[in-house]
Chain A
């Protein structure tokens, strides 16, 4: 069971908006540690999508946005496209686990 909780799956039609939540606790997200988001396509290398809660690396479309509040963070995807179908993971740092980096369990996004 992951320290960071994500919904196992979300879905949306092309053009719609979806959000993926990442719920932590006072020892990770709630303690102020940054959240990063990754997109993982089958057979590919994970790709950094959002860094430090809200920042988009160069080349990431502005359809992707991140936010953070309290003990949770969210990834929003607007204008869904078929190519967005992938697994999405949040990552942060947990001070109670001997300084471990932690990943969420992952969310499978299906574009209907």
Chain B
């Protein structure tokens, strides 16, 4: 069965960077992509970005452009999200979800369990 397992909670200071991993299993990794979504405390779901595990193409939310990097490692079946220059506004639960390998949106049927990133001095 399809499983996405994310790395554990992180506590970071303002200005630092964080990398969250998402290990996939149960399907052919390079046939799909990943969308990353976050939810800040008391807020709704916010799309962070998308990467194709097939082509490596990426797209990002405009407000995060320049601070976020998405990568995949086909050899280990793992997707990564790195967010730099953290501020308290980046405190959120970050989710990975399996997505289309192409630009067109596909429904997000499989999700990781979420990773809490806390930014605090």
Report which A residues bind B (CB closer than 8 A): 2, 33-34, 36, 38, 40, 45-46, 48, 51-52, 57, 87, 89, 91-93, 97-106
Contacts and interface: CB of A to CB of B under 8 A. Distances in A.
A105 B44 contact: yes
Q: Interface extent on B, as a size class? A: 20 to 34
A101 B45 contact: no
Chain A binding surface, main DSSP class: strand
B77 to A, nearest CB: 19
Interface in B92-121: 95, 97, 99, 103-105, 107-109, 111-114
B108 A40 contact: no
Contacts of A105: 44
A100 B35 CA distance: 10
Interface of B: 35, 37, 44-47, 50, 59-62, 95, 97, 99, 103-105, 107-109, 111-114
B53 to A, nearest CB: 16
A91 B107 CA distance: 9
Contact of B109 (A57, A97, A100, A106): A57
